Amino acid sequence: MTNHSSTINPPIAAKKPTELTKHGHNRIDNYFWLNQREDQEVLDYLNAENKYTQEVLAHTEDFQEKLFQEIKGRIQETDQSVPYFHRGYFFYVRYEEGKEYPIYCRKKDNMEAEEEVMLDVNQMAEGQDYYQVQGLSLSENRDILAFGVDTVGRRKYTVHFKNLVTGEILEDKITNTNGQIAWAADNKTLFYVTKDEQTLRDDTIWRHELNRPQSENVKVYVEEDDTFGTYIFRSKSRKYLIIGCYSTLSTEQRILAADNPTGEFTVVTPREHKHEYSISHFEDKFYIVTNWEATNFRLMVTNENAPNKENWQEVIAHREDVMLEQIEIFKNYLVVVERKNGLEHLRIRPWDGSEEHYVDFGESTYSAWVAYNPEFDTEVLRYGFNSLITPRSTFDYNLTTREKTLLKQQEVLGGYDPTAYASERVYITARDGVKVPLSLVYKKGLDKNGENPALLYGYGSYGINVTPDFSSSRLSLLDRGFVFAIAHIRGSETMGRPWYEDGKLLKKLNTFHDFIDCADYLVNEKYTSKDKLFAMGGSAGGMLMGGIMNMRPDLFKGIIAAVPFVDVVTTMLDDSIPLTTGEYDEWGNPNEKVYYDYMLSYSPYDHVEAKDYPNILVTAGLHDSQVQYWEPAKWVAKLRELKTDNNTLLLKTDMSAGHSGKTGRFQRFKEIALEYTFMLDLLGIKE
């Protein structure tokens, strides 16, 4: 690929110096002008980069198509989710062969009843380059369906309503929302959230009466603190409407009886810095998962009429080695999702005080989660499970008999044999002595001779965990000899809340160092070699990619950075950009010099310099609401200007999508096929 790219001239962005000054420190940004989305010169540059990428990869187009068909060929096109029962209906989602979008269905009372199609998104998406539906929610009498639609990728949804009795789409609609609504108990009143037009922060909650114009809606809550966002939902008990307010490190919730929609919301317990809590309602009590005097969270309970923190009583105490992540309440049981040694555990606790137990998953490295369980009065827990070698599975688990029933396992067409693959979890020693988990999967019979290609994936921000999940598309790499690895680096919560705290703010460099140390481990242990090792990350994980290739460009054959957050300092100084103010607790506020200096020490864009870099593929979305397209565009322009190697550097901007790329069930596989081809071609693998 290097030879191909060197014979085609890449686009060169114009240099238009802009001086940026803060704390007496001057930075010159030659590509600041690229932040004008409507400017024709900007669009011309992005299109030129897309054309260049297409030309450089032209010789791989047949291979890309082969990989796409190979990946798509493992998917059961005609498929259906496991139905769940709620309030008189069985609900499920199905897919039809050759169609990109889901069909949302229900059947009354039993699965032998006549099918009722609530939404066929395939019909709705006809003629649209981008079409995303979310937030499906039924009125109290189950006759009116509300749903949000985004046709741009900016995550600004218009809420529509469908009468499921007549099939009519109502004229009533609500614009500029986050796509989620909560119905009151009267079949006509609902609540929704609108966004700040500039920053896209979810900041205002409104009350809407069905078939009334949006101009008549009543503003019920405004989040004035620009470091917070807000949302609204209805409790599992259906008794309460709950407004949630959140920042990176603090939360607050308000409640209102769902049968009193014109009433006033009341605060459960007032927000405090670094206090996070969430409430679940059952019978006459609120159960609260909280980090109040509990770094790894604990469980409290209080009477619903006395929800303030001063009335909370402890149910499950804090533990240093176990993080309490979530609860699910049933009539006779409490299910607790815990994380220990980096893995999820489901703890079953009877309310009557009898012996508790854990669900046995039977594998050493995996991912498990509580699925949708809308009913209280049941002995059955529905949960999900998968691992690096076990496809995504849905189970019903009898909480009393402990009997486990597999309802559905993701079908992998083409004769997938899980016994042909091996997975392992190792703990590498980072440079400061900390043990960092590393999950690996590969074809059995791997020879650790340093000759195997490898892909190391990471994220490491916001406390988000990259779980060891199954991927049928990944088989296209494993079957071609790849080792796939996930670095569970600090900045996630893999090893509990302190793991997150050690990878943020003024400890952010731990995230980069952990990833590099994991990469060194793969090379030193001869899973791979420097000339066959690739790294990949997206969004904040794209920032990780920018950081590690500045620090250790010699360590990687290639880098894939998807929608990368790379211009950290400039973005965090601009409070008009979506998400900026809400993330001061994650990265720091650069208006304070200590954070400005620290961000500057790792900000990928600011550290691009004249030296050799690996081969690089960068993706972006013109309408991205999380990482603005200009960050990857500026980064690539600066790399083109300064890098001293002849390695491939490509930027592919989706001109009709946002942060998550294309919609549709199969379209995303084209992006994966492109990424895989980029790596395989560099290795000389042509088929």
CATH no. for residue 521? 3.40.50.1820
CATH at residue 178:
2.130.10.120
pTM equals 0.88
- Compute the C-alpha angle 667/669/672, nearest 5°: 130
More confident residue, 31 or 628: 31
- Compute the C-alpha angle 538/51/627, nearest 5°: 25
Q: Is residue 287 part of a domain?
A: no
**Which residue type does 442 have?**
Y
Whether 405 and 426 share a structural domain: no
Tell me how many domains the chain contains.
4
Q: Give Cβ neighbours of residue 69 (< 8 Å, ≥ 6 apart).
A: none
**Which residue type does 523 have?**
V
Distances (CA, A) of 651 to 46, 127, 280, 511, 661: 8, 27, 45, 25, 14
Options 280, 439, 539, 660, the catalytic residue? 539
Mark which of 64, 98, 124 sits at the end of a domain.
124
| Least confident among 299-303, 652-656, 679-683 | 652-656
pLDDT attached to residue 152: 83
**Which residue type does 280 have?**
S
| Least confident among 130-134, 399-403, 615-619, 674-678 | 130-134
Mark which of 377, 410, 443 sits at the end of a domain.
410
Whether 464 and 564 share a structural domain: yes
Whether 339 and 454 share a structural domain: no
pLDDT over threshold 60, residue 2: no
Q: Where are the alpha helices (DSSP H) in 321-437?
A: none
pLDDT over threshold 60, residue 564: yes
pLDDT over threshold 50, residue 30: yes
Q: What is the mean pLDDT of residues 29-33?
A: 97
Neighbouring C-beta atoms of residue 654, cutoff 10 Å? 21
Mark which of 124, 159, 181 sits at the end of a domain.
124
pLDDT over threshold 90, residue 474: yes
pLDDT class for 657, splitting at 50, 70, 90?
Answer: low
Whether 504 and 530 share a structural domain: yes
Q: Is residue 298 part of a domain?
A: no
- The edge-to-edge listing of strands for the beta sheet with 367-370 is 367-370, 380-386, 393-398, 404-409
Q: What is the mean pLDDT of residues 406-424?
A: 95
More confident residue, 155 or 400: 400
Is there a catalytic annotation at residue 86? no
Whether 170 and 99 share a structural domain: no
pLDDT class for 5, splitting at 50, 70, 90?
Answer: low
344-385, pLDDT tens digit by residue? 999 999 999 999 999 999 887 899 999 999 999 999 999 999
Whether 377 and 443 share a structural domain: no
Whether 360 and 405 share a structural domain: yes
Whether 223 and 143 share a structural domain: yes
53-101, pLDDT tens digit by residue? 999 999 999 999 999 999 999 999 999 999 999 999 999 999 999 898 9
514 phi/psi in degrees, rounded to 5: -60, -45
Cα radius of gyration rounded to whole Å, the chain: 25
DSSP 625-682: SSS-THHHHHHHHHHHHH--S---EEEEEETT-BTTB--STTHHHHHHHHHHHHHHHH
In the three-class reduction of DSSP (H, G, I as helix; E, B as strand; rest coil), residue 205 is classed as strand
Whether 589 and 658 share a structural domain: yes
Q: Is residue 23 part of a domain?
A: no
pLDDT attached to residue 578: 63
Q: Is residue 369 part of a domain?
A: yes
Q: Is residue 107 part of a domain?
A: yes
8 A C-beta contact, residue 345 and residue 358: yes
Whether 419 and 511 share a structural domain: yes
Residue 387 is part of which domain span?
321-410
* Percent of the chain's residues with pLDDT above 90: 89
User: Token pair of 183, please?
Assistant: 């119905």
Whether 155 and 251 share a structural domain: yes
8 A C-beta contact, residue 634 and residue 34: yes
Q: Is residue 57 part of a domain?
A: no
Q: Is residue 65 part of a domain?
A: no
pLDDT attached to residue 10: 95
Q: What is the mean pLDDT of residues 152-172?
A: 92
Q: Is residue 230 part of a domain?
A: yes
Whether 460 and 497 share a structural domain: yes
pLDDT class for 3, splitting at 50, 70, 90?
Answer: very low
pLDDT class for 658, splitting at 50, 70, 90?
Answer: low
Options 514, 624, 654, 681, the catalytic residue? 624
pLDDT class for 129, splitting at 50, 70, 90?
Answer: confident
pLDDT over threshold 60, residue 251: yes
Is there a catalytic annotation at residue 321? no
Burial 154-187 (b: 16+ CB within 10 A, else e): bbbbebbbbebeeeeeeebebebbbbbbbbbbbe
pLDDT over threshold 60, residue 4: no
Average pLDDT, the chain: 94
Options 517, 659, 660, 681, the catalytic residue? 659
